[in-house]
Chains A and B, each alone.
Chain A
């Protein structure tokens, strides 16, 4: 349950704003939701690890917007996305709240989460393919000593 909900959060956060709006607009517009908190924009401090896997250190701040909503049935949804786009975060919070309702989960998964997951995967695969094309294929010329 927790892992499944984290996956939804991740996909909503990684989709770009246009894809997110397209996938969520119809369902979210039909869902009355009261803002519990936000949307508010602030920042989180990003952290790295010394040497890649050692002790943590602070790199710098990243802008972030977060929001929490309550639906008519009492379900509470949260979202936090990097950047300052309050609209997308509100939509994601509504999706999070709807997803928690077992009766709506199938619909949310099929109509919102699955298409966005395909979107993110396709985008990452395109980038991966473009980078893979720049991979160096080393070959050794025949040496002259034979």
Chain B
């Protein structure tokens, strides 16, 4: 129960002034620009866009600055802003096969068409802190090599030709939209993927990891990870054909998991899928692991592990909801707590006045 209490306004104003001061920090140090944040802390901005569920690097950079680098607070800010924008409609589904590739690797096929493109990756770095970055040392321009223009088909389409891998289920039905309906379980895979795409990276990482450690094992291989920009095509009033409105960066992960067969189908690899705004390989991989784990029932697997429990996974994956409920505990609960105090006092009085043997019975 909440009761309005007056008297905090001056303290709140002063607290917000103090927040603004601390956020700015030492005035002798130049303030961060949004260009600096978007350009040099790009992966933080990408995470905020993915979990804030709004692709807009400039706004996400502003959110990172305003939240002093608290990314869940930044995600909250972006989600709140998002509710002020009207939805013009739904874009045509993107074609990740036509992606302008920035990175593309496969852990299952060494010689895949189009090749392994490492892109800008932390992999193979030694994870040693680099003192050079503490200064503003000049950075070399990247190498350049004439592209061979080779197509980079999705790995899963290659294996698909032989029937060794579960094909994509075609469906013409209009996908469900979690921003328009409240979630109900059991949930279809399209809605689960929407929830996971904006779900908390840490939550998905821990759940994906749990499947690797044996809590709902799926025997995963990274069929392919690709990062790059795809074109967003929309329909707009006044034009009777779709037009490209720009590009967004996405990370896609095709997880290939150990085989299943049935009386109707010969054994074939099963799959998990991850698709996330921005450059976010860890999140896309975790999402694909969790997507596959959540498909347990489709393959007749026993639902015994947390990562396979759809309601548990989906109902707790949104960090804005989670932080809202956890953090609300710090708001005034004076009246609730008074009631609890009265109750515990009454119970203690009853306990004190009861004879010894009754107390023992009650304890047992």
The residue that A54 contacts in the complex, of B170, B234, B241, with Cβ under 8 A, is B170
Q: Is B304 an interface residue (CB 8 A)?
A: no
If A13-B245, A58-B175, A82-B246 touch, does A42 touch B117 (CB 8 Å cutoff)?
no
> Are B115 and A78 within 8 A (Cβ)?
no
Nearest-neighbour CB distance to chain B for A84, whole angstroms, equals 7
> Are B171 and A83 within 8 A (Cβ)?
no
Q: Inside 8 A of B154's CB, which chain A residues have their CB?
A: 52-53
Given the complex of chains A and B, what is the CA–CA distance between A133 and B116 in angstroms?
A: 11
Contact count A vs B, C-beta below 8 Å: 237
Given the complex of chains A and B, what is the CA–CA distance between A81 and B231 in angstroms?
A: 11
The residue that A57 contacts in the complex, of B96, B157, B194, B254, with Cβ under 8 A, is B194
Given the complex of chains A and B, what is the CA–CA distance between A84 and B59 in angstroms?
A: 10
Q: Summarize B's interface: helix, strand, loop or mixed.
A: mixed
The residue that A63 contacts in the complex, of B59, B93, B191, B238, with Cβ under 8 A, is B59
If A10-B244, A13-B245, A46-B55 touch, does A55 touch B119 (CB 8 Å cutoff)?
no
The residue that A132 contacts in the complex, of B55, B145, B189, with Cβ under 8 A, is B145
Given the complex of chains A and B, what is the CA–CA distance between A129 and B100 in angstroms?
A: 12
The residue that B232 contacts in the complex, of A46, A54, A130, with Cβ under 8 A, is A46
Q: Is A101 an interface residue (CB 8 A)?
A: no
Chain A's interface size range is 35 or more
Nearest-neighbour CB distance to chain A for B213, whole angstroms, equals 26
Q: Inside 8 A of B102's CB, which chain A residues have their CB?
A: 127, 131
Q: Inside 8 A of B54's CB, which chain A residues have their CB?
A: 43, 60-63
Nearest-neighbour CB distance to chain A for B280, whole angstroms, equals 12
Q: Is B259 an interface residue (CB 8 A)?
A: no
Question: B10-18, B269-277, B312-320, B326-334: which one contacts chain A?
Answer: B269-277
> Are A83 and B169 within 8 A (Cβ)?
no
Q: Inside 8 A of A138's CB, which chain B residues have their CB?
A: 110-111
Give the residues from 92 to 118 in chain B that come closer than 8 angstroms, CB to CB, to chain A. 92-94, 96-97, 100-103, 110-111, 115-118
Q: Is A49 an interface residue (CB 8 A)?
A: yes
> Are A51 and B93 within 8 A (Cβ)?
no
Given the complex of chains A and B, what is the CA–CA distance between A47 and B190 in angstroms?
A: 10
Given the complex of chains A and B, what is the CA–CA distance between A73 and B247 in angstroms?
A: 33
Q: Is A87 an interface residue (CB 8 A)?
A: no
- By a beta-carbon cutoff of 8 Å, the part of chain A in contact with chain B is 2, 5-6, 9-10, 13-14, 41-64, 66, 68, 76, 78, 80-84, 124-136, 138
